[in-house]
Amino acid sequence: MKRYLLSTMILVVILSMFLSASVLASNGPLVLATNNAPEGKSMAKALEEFGKLKNIEVEVVEAPYANLFEKELLDLSKGTGLYDIILLDDPWFTQFAENDWLTELTTYFLEKKEAGLSADFIDKSQAICRYPYAKGLLYAVPAVGNAQMFFYRKDLFEKYNMFAAPATWEEAYEVMLKIKENEDGVFGYVLRGQQGNPVVAQFMPIFWSFNAKMFNEDKTEVWIDTPEALNALNFFIELKEISPPGAESFNAQQLATYMLQGKAATTINWPAFVPTFEDPKQSKIVGKIAYAPIPSAVAVGASEIGHWLAAIPAGSKNKDMAFEFIHWATSAEKQKELALKWGNPPTRKSVFQDPELLAMSEFRHYPVLLQAISNSKPRPRISNWNEVENTFGIHLSKAVAGQVSPKEALVAAQKEVEKLMEKAGYIK
Amino acid sequence: MQVGNISKWSEKNLKYLLIVPTVFLLVALTIYPLIYAVIASLHVINIRTGENVFVGFQNFIEIFKDQYFWNAFKNTIVFTGVGVTIEFTLGLILALFLSSKIVGRNIFRSLLLSPMMLPPIVVAIIFKIIYIPEFGVINWFLGLFGIRGILWEASVHTALPSLILVDIWEWTPFMFLILLAGLQSLPLDPYEAAVVDGASGFQIFRYITFPLLKPVIVIALLLRIMDTLRIFDQIFIMTGGGPANATETLSLYIYRHGFRFYNIGYATAMSFLLLIFTVIISNFFIRFLKTEKVFE
């Protein structure tokens, strides 16, 4: 009897293993992994609509930003094929693409008798979907457009005789300083200084407009400790001087608070905050705020690009349908609809220039955003960017907090980033 | 014949059969991960690059040379030491105060417990707003007394104390709750005897309450210390470890290596050191609990 019991149990276990394996092996529903912020949720809604349209089963996996990265990385690295479509932030793209974890998309476009991504997509948006950058194979489609903009108080700038958007940091700073000195309780700038990603994202546009670069073309040299970078960091500290006290720990939300309360004249932030600034219920600056591309210094001002890309994991078992969805969701009509319904910034020039959208006040920043994306730069396309960003962030934070001089911060960052680049095999 | 066999067999073995689910869970969720952690800490494992190489104690050697690890270690120790000490002192005072018969003590007790009920993330976000130097409520209040310009979590010098303050606000009630329960379970006889003998209030506390309460104190301290050594949420939200690494704790540093850089081996090795450290401290307290006799 004991034998029977034992063999029955073993049989049950084996059977259940087979069952679960067969469940996993079937194609199953079309699964999208996306982040649970507006731009991610809008894609989730689009997928549900697509499911009804095609009469197929769909499933959405939503996760907060940091979590989404972990989920996607685990799925991609193990090739489990849990997700058919993933939405990914563009700095993740390099590490995903270089390991062949994503599906090359040109063949799918060819099947549709298209050569590849439509020329309607902004060039800079296309470039970040290719590995290597701009020249390589196509592994993703730009789904949600984003790039930093310079937010400034038009009314205050006009008060100090600047009637057009400031073109250079020099002229902008002059007005910002005047505002700080003469306007009671209004700071010239509000700096996003929290250690880590926030301070780096805030510094990069200034770094670039002073013509500094982090690496040489093939990433074999680190160029952090350079005169250009020092000029940029010195100016960054000057911006901190005219920022509210406590900027050392500010994140994007605190920037928005200062702007909404009318306590800061300028900032660099993401367009996601535009609807809040234009909402009379939350904002004291409706009609007073204006948007501009990042001012220039010695080089043309460039903002950091921050797109959400749609891609198909190499392990997906529903690739055809997944591509069908991505193609549909990034079409001009769909992008316009997502912009209207969810405020999703598009990636197609035609949608940015759509007369119907431009006539509406909440889209009045579109020409500026289009220009900002067209002038934007990507974060360095290296696979260990998370580590490099973290290290660079520590030293920027030290400089912003006044713990070390800008020069000392750059020397230390240079040394540590070199070590990381050696470890990752870029520097031999 | 057969039926007899079954009942005999089950009588003998049923107890083992019944603990199988528990043992299975324990093996799957505790023992296997622990063994895996030991193995992983001896490897360089990076999920991103797919690297998986045995390196012996290389990870540990690198950790001892890692300045950021030591900085995080120092911050963790300061955070735990200062935070738990103050929480304990405040909790004990409150418990002594509210175990005596004062008016409205039930209301005070319920109010005192509320901070503990909030999720740490919510607490962190609220304090981040409270701490804004320009229009946060604390600086406004201090301004009424002529104190101005404290930067709280934004300054290198006040960042760690500001975060400790949040922890104290949230977790003093926990100390208070446990100590209060302990106080209320104490026998009354020694107190009556002491009063008859004419002992002062302090003497009663020093020679009766404190020794009787010792086991409860040890448990309360132990729980809080183990919890604080892995502090993460508030710091992650409020400062991200900054400014200038002044608030980076071990958990945060381990998280960074494990989940941002995918150096699983290195992160596991650090977790292991944290575990050993926690075990040593806990053992110290547990031994204290065992050897101390409550009644002489």
Helix (H) or strand (E) holding B252: helix B250-255
Cβ separation B154–A247 shorter than 8 A: yes
Structural domain of A13:
7-146+306-374
Is residue B242 a contact partner of residue A250, using CB atoms and an 8 Å limit?
A: no
A113-132: per-residue pLDDT in tens? 999 999 999 999 999 999 99
Give residue B222's Cα distance to chain centre: 8
Same domain, A350 and A299: no
The residue of chain B with its CA nearest to that of A67 is: B259
Give the mean model confidence (pLDDT) for residues B99-114.
84
Judged by a CB distance cut-off of 8 A, whether residue A355 touches chain B is no
Same domain, A170 and A26: no
ipTM of the prediction: 0.85
Residues of chain A positioned with their CB less than 8 A from the CB of B260: 386-387, 390
Phi, psi of A380 (to 5 degrees): -45, 130
Same domain, A279 and A175: yes
For residue A190, give every residue at least 6 positions away whose Cβ sits within 8 Å of its Cβ, in sequence order, or none: A243, A244, A247, A250, A254, A255, A258, A259, A263, A264, A266, A267
Q: Which residues pair with A222 in a beta bridge?
A: A215
- The pLDDT score that the predictor gives to residue A20 is 56
The residue of chain A with its CA nearest to that of B129 is: A254
Q: Is position A14 within any domain?
A: yes
Same domain, A359 and A270: no
Question: How many C-beta atoms lie closer than 10 Å to residue B59's C-beta?
Answer: 24
Q: Is position A2 within any domain?
A: no
Q: Name, of A69-83, A412-426, B131-145, the range with top average pLDDT.
A: A412-426
Judged by a CB distance cut-off of 8 A, whether residue B1 touches chain A is no
Q: Is position A317 within any domain?
A: yes
Residues of chain A positioned with their CB less than 8 A from the CB of B152: 246
Is residue B175 a contact partner of residue B89, using CB atoms and an 8 Å limit?
A: no
Our CA angle for A348, A350, A351, nearest 5°, is: 70
Q: Which residues pair with A81 in a beta bridge?
A: none
Same domain, A324 and A280: no
Residues of chain A positioned with their CB less than 8 A from the CB of B239: 194-195, 249
From A340, A355, A374, the end of a domain falls on: A374
Judged by a CB distance cut-off of 8 A, whether residue B67 touches chain A is no
Q: Is position A1 within any domain?
A: no
The residue of chain B with its CA nearest to that of A185 is: B134
For residue A270, the domain's CATH number is: 3.40.190.10
Same domain, A189 and A294: yes
Same domain, A132 and A158: no
Six-digit token string for B226: 């183990």
A248-263: per-residue pLDDT in tens? 999 988 999 999 999 9
Dihedral sign for Cα atoms in the order B67, A203, A190, A40: negative
Q: Where in chain B is the domain with CATH 1.10.3720.10?
A: 58-291
Same domain, A312 and A332: yes
Is residue A248 a contact partner of residue B242, using CB atoms and an 8 Å limit?
A: yes
Nearest to B156 among A2, A393, A403 (CB): A403
Give the mean model confidence (pLDDT) for residues A23-44.
82
Same domain, A338 and A212: no
Q: Say whether pLDDT at A1 is over 60.
A: no
Q: Is position A188 within any domain?
A: yes
Determine the topology of domain B58-291 in CATH: MetI-like fold (1.10.3720)
Domain count, chain A: 2
Same domain, A274 and A323: no
Q: CA A40, A46, A50, A51: dihedral to nearest 10 degrees?
A: 60
The residue of chain A with its CA nearest to that of B244 is: A398
Residues of chain A positioned with their CB less than 8 A from the CB of B259: 66, 70
Alpha-carbon distances of A62 from A68, A69, A90, A255, rounded to whole Å: 8, 11, 18, 27
Same domain, A15 and A56: yes
Q: Is position A328 within any domain?
A: yes
Amino acid at residue number A244 = P
Six-digit token string for A419: 């070590």
DSSP characters for A166-177? --BHHHHHHHHH
Cβ separation A194–B133 shorter than 8 A: no
Question: How many C-beta atoms lie closer than 10 Å to residue A264's C-beta?
Answer: 32
B22-64: per-residue pLDDT in tens? 999 999 999 999 999 999 999 999 888 888 999 999 999 999 9
Cβ separation A1–B242 shorter than 8 A: no
Residue A109 to residue A63: CA distance in whole angstroms: 29
Cβ separation B260–A390 shorter than 8 A: yes
Same domain, A35 and A131: yes
| A58-63 vs A30-35, strand pairing mode | parallel
Judged by a CB distance cut-off of 8 A, whether residue B240 touches chain A is yes
Question: Chain-wide mean pLDDT for chain B?
Answer: 90
Give the mean model confidence (pLDDT) for residues B174-184.
93
From A358, A374, A390, the end of a domain falls on: A374
A354-388: per-residue pLDDT in tens? 999 999 988 999 999 999 999 999 999 998 999 99
DSSP characters for B97-133? HHHS--TTHHHHHHHHHHHHHS-HHHHHHHHHHHT-T
CA distance B169 to chain A (A): 21
Question: Chain-wide mean pLDDT for chain A?
Answer: 92
CA distance A29 to chain B (A): 27
Residues of chain A positioned with their CB less than 8 A from the CB of B233: none
Phi, psi of A82 (to 5 degrees): -65, -35
Q: Is position A428 within any domain?
A: no
- The pLDDT score that the predictor gives to residue B14 is 86
Q: CA A212, A217, A222, A227: dihedral to nearest 10 degrees?
A: -30
Residue A212 to residue A228: CA distance in whole angstroms: 5
A78-115: per-residue pLDDT in tens? 889 999 999 999 999 999 999 899 999 999 999 999 99
Q: Which residues pair with A290 in a beta bridge?
A: A152
Judged by a CB distance cut-off of 8 A, whether residue A91 touches chain B is no
Cβ separation A246–B243 shorter than 8 A: no
Q: Is position A159 within any domain?
A: yes
CA distance A70 to chain B (A): 7
Six-digit token string for A325: 């969805």
Cβ separation A248–B132 shorter than 8 A: no
The residue of chain A with its CA nearest to that of B246 is: A398
Residue A309 to residue A330: CA distance in whole angstroms: 10
Question: How many C-beta atoms lie closer than 10 Å to residue B175's C-beta?
Answer: 26
Nearest alpha-carbon partner for A356 in A373, A339, A374, A379 = A339
- The pLDDT score that the predictor gives to residue A256 is 92
